[in-house]
Structure formats: C-alpha cells, structure tokens
Amino acid sequence: MRIATWNVNSVRSRLPRLLGWLERVKPDVLCLQEIKCAAEAFPVAEVASLGYEVAAHGTGRWNGVAILSRVGLADVTRGLTDEPGYLADGALFETSEPRAIGATCDDVRVWSVYVPNGREPSHPHYEYKLRWLAALRATAIAELAEERPFAVLGDFNVAPTDDDVWDISLFAESTHVTEPERTALAALRDAGLADVFPRALKYDHPYTYWDYRQLAFPNNNGMRIDLVYGNPAFTKAVTDCYVDRDERKGTGASDHAPVVADLAL
C-alpha cells in the first residue's frame, strides 16, 4: 500500500502536475494540504477519472485539506476534537479554519493536517498553533484506542530537529524550531506515534520545503516539515519512505515536495 502527503499549494493551480503525479506514482492514498479552494470547488471529476474518491475540507482561498483514495473512503471526519479557532487581526470572534480531515481507507485510518504556521513567536498566531497542536494530540489519542494502522500526515510547520533545517543559526528568532513547537511534536510521540521517516532513510535529512525566494531550491536551503507520524501498526509495516524531490522542480511546482511511504499491508 502506498500512502503519500503533499502540500500542493493550490490544487487548482497545480492540477496538471497533480494529475500527472497521480498517474506516475500511483499512490493508494494521498493526503493534500493547502488546497486553497472550497470543498465544492475541488476538481473531483478530474481525479475521479484516475480512480480516486475525494473527501475535502475547504472554505475558500486559504488553507484547506483533502484525502484522495482509490482503496475506499469511509468515516470521514472534518476538524479536530475541540479544535481551536483563530482570532484574526481585527476580528471580533474566533473562526475555525479547515486544517484537518480524517478518513478510513481500506483498513488504514489517516488524517491529513495543515498545522498553523505560527508566523513569529510573539504573534497571537503562534499561541493558536500550540493550541491547535494540543487539539491534534487529543484527536490522535482517541484514534489510537483502535487497533488498526493509523497515521497523521501533512505539513506540520515544525522541523523536528536542528538537522531538519539548512542552517539552524538563521532561525534564532523564527518559528518552526522553537522548543514549545518541538515539545508539541514530542507529545504526539509520547502518545504513541512515531516519525516513520528515519525507519527507511535513504539519505541524510532530506528536506520537503524550499521557499520560492532567493534561489532556495537550487541552493538546497530547505526544511523538513512535511511529516508522517504513525502508530506501531503503521510504522512496522513501512518498507520505504522518500521525498519526491523531482516534483519540486520545474515551472509551476509547489514549494513543497510529496512525501511517499510504502507499506506491506
């Protein structure tokens, strides 16, 4: 079984690349983030022509997540348990954002997540990020009660270690590497999830994200922030896991590359 995750950075803008990638790589399940469209505007017919069902959670221009599956799609859940909203600048009330969707594909339970960026440690969005990660942990704990392969995949907007960014000295005042963010990741691991990537490492600390600016991709100034966290039933089945770096190349690419996990299930 092949399960992948990809921050596609606008599914409609990236549609030709998405369809080509699906045809070439043939994942059984694909978790998408930052689809940037309402659920009803997702290009369902186009991916259905390749044999995929779709569950999408999106409201418009920003954020949005989806799960594509050609092995069944059941028990769809949109949003986390007690998911916090964000009090946007100038807003009078908190609004929830479409950042998490769960589904059962064959016998595997997956969640596609797009963790808030946090902006900067002094910004209210950073506290929102930490509250959101706490809600993700609560949701994962409930899922872990079931004895079935289970994984949370997506853009976590957290680099697990210093080696997962190209130059840690440049991140002294930045999000993605702070102790509270990494503590939130550790809380997921303590709950019973593991980062599957080191189990099938082909090369040292491959990145999954490169900014569009300042020649970041040609210079390999990247970060590993797109992660696959699985329970023991999931991780022990992993036979390979890799970043499809080639999909970051060329015109019209997302600033993230897909992460692909192969499992013997």
The whole-number pLDDT of residue 93 equals 80
Among 3.40.50.970, 3.50.50.60, 3.60.10.10, 3.40.50.720, name the CATH number for the domain at 2-263: 3.60.10.10
CA 250 from centroid of its chain's CA atoms = 22
Tell me the CB-side half-sphere exposure of residue 163, using CA atoms within 13 A.
5
* 89 pLDDT more than 80: no
Residue 60's pLDDT band, with cuts at 50, 70 and 90, is confident
**Measured distance between the N- and C-terminal CA atoms of the chain, rounded to whole angstroms:** 6
Q: Which is higher by pLDDT, 108 or 91?
A: 108
What sign results for the dihedral spanned by CA atoms 127, 128, 129, 132?
A: positive
- Three-state DSSP class for residue 15: helix
Which amino acid does the sequence have at 43? P
Give the pLDDT confidence of 159-185 residue by residue, as tens digits. Answer: 999 999 999 999 988 999 999 999 999
Mean pLDDT for 207-211 is 96
Q: What is the mean pLDDT of the chain?
A: 94
Percentage of residues of the chain with pLDDT beyond 90 = 89
Give the pLDDT confidence of 110-143 residue by residue, as tens digits. Answer: 999 999 999 999 999 999 999 999 999 999 999 9
Q: Spell 143-162 as b/e; 16+ CB within 10 A means b.
A: bbeeeebbbbbbbbbbbbee
The whole-number pLDDT of residue 141 equals 98
What's the length of the chain? 265
CB under 8 Å to 93, separation ≥6 — which residues? 85, 87
* 256 pLDDT more than 90: yes
Type and span of the H or E element at 179: helix 179-191
Give the pLDDT confidence of 79-88 residue by residue, as tens digits. Answer: 999 999 998 7
Mean pLDDT for 208-235 is 96
Is residue 201 within 8 Å of residue 188, measured between CB atoms?
A: no
